[in-house]
Structure 1
């Protein structure tokens, strides 16, 4: 077995141990000691792979949800990508709720920020290519932050209000809002530069 495969398997085992622990106790009460004991590895091995338990949780989310979403064609598959995220949330309700209850809304958003930021920038850049329009760098950064905050905020709201909000309606609203507002912004900018 190659070193990369051994490393990945170790990370995956630690991730599974964390998920199991989160079924029974708050995130902040989970210790490195119990995770390494469950995986039969030593402390040095844990810290070789992760700076702390927060880094392990972030890696878990990245592997199980965000990494998959990156593979979607986000111009074509908005709704499919959002559906996948919602499926992941439902299947891992205990994990998300434990993280939410233990570290809070803002910190949970922070876990996803860098990765969702890259996704949102990708959506904007694909739409720029499609409309043959370029946004000023400052405005593109503003728009990326705007959409990132909106998507993350709406997903976290949905986590806590699922029983009262129709999932398909939320998916459609998020997808339509991004699609049409972004196309409108870029078409408007394109018309400004061509003098139409």
Structure 2
């Protein structure tokens, strides 16, 4: 029931976003759309932007969970771009809103976890301090986020597979190279 109620609220928000930008939507609008109470909304979410983050996490969690090594990170990145593309109205509304940081925070959380898992697997046979692995993951996560934000800002015109392919060319072997430099 817990996730079902969240899904109902999420679907209501997505329906309303087809007609209005996110900064013009209230909790009252969402609960009226789905027939729930304001209290029900607040039992699950602090505000609309927390609901937005939940929607983003649900959309990508499953596809990324299966792509946490160096050989499959590209598929995970591709799935993330597809997920963003499938939620284009929601993403662009959030990106253009005053609370754009909720989108960036979501992306950082998802991408950092993904990249750190790849870095950790690359470092299995190496003796590298955790702070360096975290730094590598943070560096690449921020680069991915910058690419994605630019893509969103430009209207998501470029094909996700092209972005993934171009990124792969740039970072092929870079995780291992960086880890070897930081190895004890």
Q: TM-score, normalised by structure 1?
A: 0.83
Matched, 1:30 2:20: no
- What 5-or-longer segments of structure 2 have no aligned partner? none
Distance 2:52 2:61 in 1: 13
TM-superposition CA deviations, 1:60-103 (whole Å, max 9, x none) = 00001244312324322122112212222222211111111113
- What 5-or-longer segments of structure 1 have no aligned partner? 1-5
* Map of 1:70 onto structure 2: 65
Give the number of aligned pairs.
Answer: 183
More displaced 10-residue stretch of structure 1: 45-54 or 180-189: 180-189
Q: CA deviation at 1:166?
A: 5.1
Q: CA deviation at 1:138?
A: 2.5
* Map of 1:140 onto structure 2: 133
* Map of 1:3 onto structure 2: none
* Map of 2:116 onto structure 1: 121
Higher helix share: 1
Secondary structure of 2:66's match?
coil
Distance 2:146 2:112 in 1: 13
Rg larger in structure: 1
Matched, 1:11 2:9: no
When residues 97 and 146 of structure 1 are mapped into structure 2, their CA distance, relative to the original with a 3 A threshold, is same
CA contact (8 A) 1:79 1:175 kept: yes
Q: CA RMSD in A?
A: 2.0
* Map of 1:159 onto structure 2: 152
CA contact (8 A) 2:68 2:114 kept: no
